[in-house]
Amino acid sequence: MAGSVQAPLTSARAAQDVELEPIQLVAPDGTPTPETRYRRDLPPETLAWLFESMAVTRALDVEFVNLQRQGELALFATCRGQEAAQIGATACLRKTDWLFPQYREMGAFLLRGITPAQMGAVWRGRWHGGLGFTEKCVAPIAIPIGTHGLHAVGAAMAAQRLGEDSITVAYLGDGATSEGDAHEAMNFAAVYKAPCVFFVQNNQWAISVPVSRQQAGPSIAHRAIGYGMPGVRVDGNDVLACYAVMEEAAARARRGDGPTLIEAVTYRLGPHTTSDDPTRYRSDDEVERWAALDPIPRYRKYLQHIDVWTDRLEHRVQSRSARLCAELRDAIINTPDMDVGELFDTVYADITPTLQAQRDELLAEMAKEA
């Protein structure tokens, strides 16, 4: 009996040194920090690629918001301010590692080669939105908060049983960690040493609920102690720090040592979605404080500091951003909407009477509007 309680206590103790101070490799002024436990000496082309990916994500994000404001999209969830977290945490993974996004992870989609047209189809609400993601080892977005944590753990356990060396990543929000699903996912993952990383983007808000209402403990990362896995807090606005801690967590999962809970401390600079008015629940002062920590100018200063910054990189960012934004705009505006009737055709080999009735009702409704 003593032995059976001893084992989890030991692994929990190993995880007990969760630091409250987030890991940071690049200071807000763009200079390297004294941190020596993680490497920042990536090859110059990788360093430049990280910048390019962050800046192109930002440009696409702006284009999405514009398209929504122009009435082309009903809704969009911006990731402005969270580019370092998403790019850093995804860039160090293998293309065969499975990503389980929430809904705000455009940086991760970009890195996986999900096209602007594919991303646009999701927010345009086309019936095939999300199709094709799985070909890139990306699960469709999960609007029901926290559910995809379980999918990520299930997929990780499947990979484990099949003897594959791929890992899975669940991208959760701070609010998502309060869901029962997130608890079940983390507990299962820790108990079964599933090769899964929980990457929580703590962007300080879950719509209008501040992160202070998501836990009474010292931090989200500290919950890892209770599950018996390592917990790491990282500066989510520092792309190199996010890269480094995810690289370490991915290696741990891949060698069979189980999951890690990473809390990337960041900020949602924009509204929750284009339907939200954040001035109703947060102060301009707060937003300005975080805007000064914007991950993109910070990293640009760092690249300048280490002499990796070039005008060519700037031009490359501009031309790729322009090309992808044009692709997005074209896909949203000029591609005819799919026949919504097809939505029902692909559910079962033979349509059920209930679905047929729903299909008829929808088509009749739409015919009235046309």
Ligand X SMILES: Cc1ncc(C[n+]2csc(CCOP(=O)(O)OP(=O)(O)O)c2C)c(N)n1
Contact 61, 104 (CB under 8 A): no
CA-based Rg of the chain, rounded to a whole angstrom?
21
Contacting range for ligand X; rule: CB under 6 A; set: 87-95, 128-136, 203-211, 291-299: 203-211
* Residue 78 interacting with Mg ion (CB under 5 A): no
Containing 234, the helix (H) or strand (E) segment is strand 231-235
**Among 331, 282, 334, 329, residue whose Cα is nearest residue 69:** 329
* The token pair that represents 362 in the structure block: 């929808």
* Residue 55 interacting with ligand X (CB under 6 A): no
Contact 219, 174 (CB under 8 A): no
* Residue 151 interacting with ligand X (CB under 6 A): no
Please select the residue that binds ligand X; options are 93, 206, 221, 229, rule is CB under 6 A: 206
Could you say which residues in the range 84-123 bind ligand X, by CB under 6 A?
Answer: 102, 104
* Residue 75 interacting with ligand X (CB under 6 A): no
Helix, strand, or coil here: 350? coil
Write down the least CB distance from residue 101 to ligand X, Å. Answer: 10
Residues taking part in catalysis: 268, 272, 281
Write down the least CB distance from residue 177 to Mg ion, Å. Answer: 9
Could you say which residues in the range 181-240 bind Mg ion, by CB under 5 A?
Answer: 203, 206
**Nearest residue (CB) to ligand X, 95 versus 289:** 289
Q: Where are the alpha helices (DSSP H) in the chain?
A: 2-14, 44-69, 83-91, 106-111, 116-124, 147-162, 180-191, 223-227, 239-254, 284-291, 295-305, 311-334, 342-345, 353-369
Choose among ligand X, Mg ion, none what residue 143 binds, the Cβ cut-off being 5 to 8 Å by kind: ligand X
Please select the residue that binds Mg ion; options are 173, 231, 259, 295, rule is CB under 5 A: 173
**Nearest residue (CB) to ligand X, 54 versus 264:** 264
> What is the sign of the dihedral through the CA atoms of 49, 50, 55 and 61?
positive
Write down the least CB distance from residue 78 to ligand X, Å. Answer: 10
Q: What is d(CA 182, CA 152) in angstroms, rounded to the nearest whole number?
A: 11
Residue facing ligand X at closest CB distance: 173
Interface contacts to Mg ion, rule CB under 5 A: 173-175, 203, 206
